[in-house]
Amino acid sequence: MTVIKWLDKNLEYVCLAGLLIIMTILSFVNVIMRYCFHSALSWSDEVCCYCLALSAFLCLPCSIRSRSAIAVDTVVTMLPESVKKGLSYVCNILMILFLAVCVKGGIEIAAKAAQVQQKSPALRIEVSYLYYFMTFCFVLSILRCVQIIVMDAKNIKEGEN
């Protein structure tokens, strides 16, 4: 059970760290190749670009889980605690509905890319895999929103679960 708890708290962070390590190493190697050996890697820029895009989508469930998503809460801070809690539920439910639309769109885009067998320019990998990963991040975000709703309903603070 401790592995599941560890994954619950660190899954996104580990994946983001891995993507950052890949981007850093590939960029460093490409700079060395370009300036020392006058021959750059043709595919490293594409990998770095995809890692950056995937990390952006992976930041969404991470920010939801850590409750650090961007929010305008000037008026909310002046409201009574019970209204704040109710408003939090409404916002999380609206977020789940929005993310469900994103999941539907992501599945459609990935299916179309798979149908035409769209491939990336340098690596020649199917672009549908990237779209499926994006959709997975939306699904993970929905799970994180549900998790936040359950934690709020049970009055569980971040360190207690």
* pTM score of the predicted model: 0.88
Looking at residue 157, its pLDDT comes to 74
User: Is the separation of the CB atoms in 126 and 117 below 8 Å?
Assistant: yes
The whole-number average pLDDT for the span 32-53 is: 93
* DSSP bridge pairs for 119: 126
DSSP 83-100: HHHHHHHHHHHHHHHHHH
Mean pLDDT across the chain: 92
Q: Indicate whether 39 pLDDT > 70.
A: yes
Q: Indicate whether 161 pLDDT > 70.
A: no
Q: How many angstroms separate the CA atoms of 151 and 137, rounded?
A: 21
Which backbone phi and psi does 119 adopt, to 5 degrees? -120, 155
Q: Indicate whether 72 pLDDT > 80.
A: no
User: Is the separation of the CB atoms in 110 and 68 below 8 Å?
Assistant: no
